[in-house]
Every structure is written in structure tokens, then in C-alpha cells.
A and B are shown apart, each in its own frame.
Chain A
Amino acid sequence: METKLDGNAAGGVLREIFPFEMTDAQVTCVGCGATNAIGALGAYMHGMGTVLRCPSCDYVLMRMAHANGQYWLDMRGVRVLQIREETVQAQ
């Protein structure tokens, strides 16, 4: 069975794409409307990539993969992504 981790574990992968710490950014779920920190999401990580799910309804929020010289980022389950100004300025 796939091990469920926290979105916190995907912090390194996210930092390959985004230029600032992302685990305390907030995402709003398309499925149920809940808003949670990325660090609080469910994370499923394996060789094929990383899937982040809503902790409230299990909807797939983000999928990330890195293959063939490309980063793939599917954010279909994220209605809103909120990043605090101080997070951006910290970089």
C-alpha cells in the first residue's frame, strides 16, 4: 500500500519549481472548498511523481513529476493558491 505522508514532505520537490518555501502557502480545493496549508495536505510520493490530496475530501489537488528534462505540474484541483507576501520577500 502506498504510504500517506504530509504535504510537508513535498517541500523539496516544490522548491525545484517555485522560488520560495511553499509548504505554508494555502490552497483551496476545487472539490470541497476547504482551504489548507500545503504542508497539511496528504502526500503520496513515489518514483513516478508526487500527488497532493485534500485532507478534507481526498480530492487530487496537485500532481508533480520530473521527467525527460521537463517539470510537469498539474494543479487542476486547486481553485486558489495563496502565498504570503513575507514568504516571497524572504527569498
Chain B
Amino acid sequence: MERRALPGRLVWKLGDVVATREETARATSITLAVPNWSGHRAGQHVDVRLTAEDGYQVERSYSIASPPAEAPRLTLTVERLGDGEVSPYLVDELRVGDKLELRGPIGGYFVWEASVGGPLLLVAGGSGIVPLMAMIRQRAAVGSTVPTRLLYSSRTYDEIIYREELEQLVTSRSTGLEVIHTLTRAQPMGWTGYDRRIDGEMLREVAWPISERPLSFICGPTPFVETAAASLVTLGYELARIKTERFGPTGESAVSGASGASGGE
């Protein structure tokens, strides 16, 4: 249903799918061209709406993976959830040339821009990497040297989203980006990284000294985020400098690659 646009209110827009890219077996990136896109900030999300032939509508939130520098195009990375109403369509059915209804950008809290500084501690669980990747990409795009550590938890090596791009960013630009992986379910032969779920001890080893007052962004499934945030607080980090974004495992309505605001559903 089209409503008259009021100044400042978000309106639904139709974006054109201009590219898709399989990131992992379960996650796909969708690049959209959106007419009159106002631009966004790293960490923001959009709401996506699907309408069935009978008029049934369902909305989900997805984090923007691309940096503001790539506007007017934006890329979402969506992880397929088996029982999702939206993500299987986005991951498996959507094709270049299709249109997708969305509104945004949304969010002024879970955002980072170079002027905010750091050091940054980014903690990602699964498709929770998506909004953090927008920050990492923006940081690279503007040549920021803010010291940044990403602690990234995936189930298996093959499920690490953006794995090669992260490797390239770490090795090709010596600008103070460090990426630390943990693989919780299975590890390849010779794996030397962490092999367990994120816990307080791991965060103590990875996080910046408390005296450096890092700014932390944590994104992932709700239990993951709560464990990571509670561990940081227990270790003595300032609660006011820990920002979180949860998404539900079933995708009720979160953002991320899920349906909270990052990438899952």
C-alpha cells in the first residue's frame, strides 16, 4: 500500500537487483540500485518487505554490508535460515533484474564512521559480521588507520563469510586491522586459531587493554551477543562503549544477515 510521503518519514522504495554473489553455501550478497538513495552510515540496516500474491506481507531487517563509499549502490548479505519466510527467497530465488521493496537506511546507534575513532573491537557471530564488514570496508575506503581487531566466530572454515576479502585487507594494507577467527564446530587440518565459542578468556586475550578505552561493536545471535557483552563488562570494559546488535535465530525481526539487522533472519 503506497502512502503519501511525509517529510522525514521512511517510505518503501523499489530497488533493482544489479548483482548477486554467493559468499558461502548459506549466505548470498545482493547488490541493489535504489533510486534516490540518500546514502547510509556503516552499521545501518534496511527493512525488506515481501508481498505474496494474496497480499500477505512479511518484513525483515538486514544489515547493509557495503560501505557508504559505494552509494548509490548498496549490498546486503543474507544468510538462509531453513525455516525462514524471507531469507530462502532472498538467497535462492532472487535474480539480477528483479526488484526488491525496502526502506532505509535505519539506525543511528550501531554505526561507526572514521571520525568516531577507536580503537575498535568488533565481535561477530556468523552473519553478525555483516554490519561490522561495512565498518571495516568503510575504514579501508577512507584510509582510516584506527586500530581495529575483529574477533569472528564461525561454525566451520567454509562458513566464514568474506574470508578472502578479510585476508586481503589484513595482508595488503598494513593499516592496523587484525582478524582473529574462532571455529566452533569443525576445524581444518593444521588450524591454529581458536576452536571454541567466544568466552571471557578469549575476549581477555583479544580485546584491547582497558586503559585504551576501546569502542566495541558486537553483532550475532542473541545468546552470542549476551555472552560477549556480559564478558566484556565482567572484564571491566565500559558498558557505555559496548554497542550490541542481536538477531533472533528464527528471524522474528532482527537485523543483520538475519532479520535483526545484520544478515540472518
A residues at B contact (CB < 8 Å)? 2-9, 11-12, 15-16, 18-24, 37-40, 45-46, 87, 91
Contacts and interface: CB of A to CB of B under 8 A. Distances in A.
A65 to B, nearest CB: 14
A2 B248 CA distance: 9
B75 to A, nearest CB: 19
Given A3-B222, A3-B252, A91 B7 contact: yes
Given A39-B107, A46-B253, A6 B10 contact: no
Nearest to B255: A9
Name, among A11, A18, A20, the residue most crowded by chain B CB atoms within 10 Å (CB to CB): A11
B4 interface: no
Interface string B171-206: 000000000000000000000000000000000000
B54 to A, nearest CB: 17
A63 to B, nearest CB: 15
B108 interface: yes
B231 interface: no
A91 to B, nearest CB: 4
B104 A12 contact: yes
B153 interface: no
A5 B253 contact: yes
Contacts of A7: 109
Main secondary structure of the interface of A (DSSP, over half): mixed
Contact of A6 (B9, B108, B260): B260
Interface string B233-265: 000000000011111111011110000110000
Given A12-B103, A12-B106, A6 B246 contact: yes
B9 A16 contact: yes
Given A4-B222, A8-B245, A87 B108 contact: yes
A5 B260 contact: yes
Contacts of B107: 8, 11, 21, 23, 39
A21 B107 CA distance: 7
Contacts of A40: 109, 243-244
B52 interface: no
B80 interface: no
Given A21-B108, A23-B108, A24-B108, A9 B253 contact: yes
B73 interface: no
B203 to A, nearest CB: 19
Name, among A5, A7, A16, A19, the residue most crowded by chain B CB atoms within 10 Å (CB to CB): A5
A36 B104 CA distance: 23
Nearest to A15: B10
